Homo-oligomer: A and B are copies of this chain.
């Protein structure tokens, strides 16, 4: 962790990040968790509980569909599939992120004006 503020800095982006992962292909919950953890080199872990809450929210909103894998042996895995609505929201949120990034950049650079 770079610093303890990381949680709130990522706040609001969780759903979009999950949609971004699912955009490529279906994945099960823990797999998404590991991928995010590994992709950031441990700098910005998103906690399991946070992600599972996000999955529920995304399913409830119809942005993602859930189904149980058919692992005949081994532990159960719940897979998630992004919907068309989810893809639309993803694109919208990426645009919002780009705008937010620009806004914060400019606010942190405020000269006396």
Contacts and interface: CB of A to CB of B under 8 A. Distances in A.
Interface of A: 2-3, 5-13, 16-17, 20-21, 24-25, 35-36, 39-40, 43-44, 92-97, 99-101, 103-104, 106-113
A47 to B, nearest CB: 15
Copies of the chain in the assembly: 2
B44 A110 contact: no
Grouping DSSP codes into helix (H, G, I), strand (E, B) and loop, the A interface class, with mixed when no group exceeds half, is helix
B5 A44 contact: no
Contacts of A3: 92-93, 96
Q: Across chains A and B, which 6 residue pairs bring their CB atoms closest together, nearest first?
A: A8-B12, A24-B112, A9-B100, A9-B12, A17-B107, A20-B108
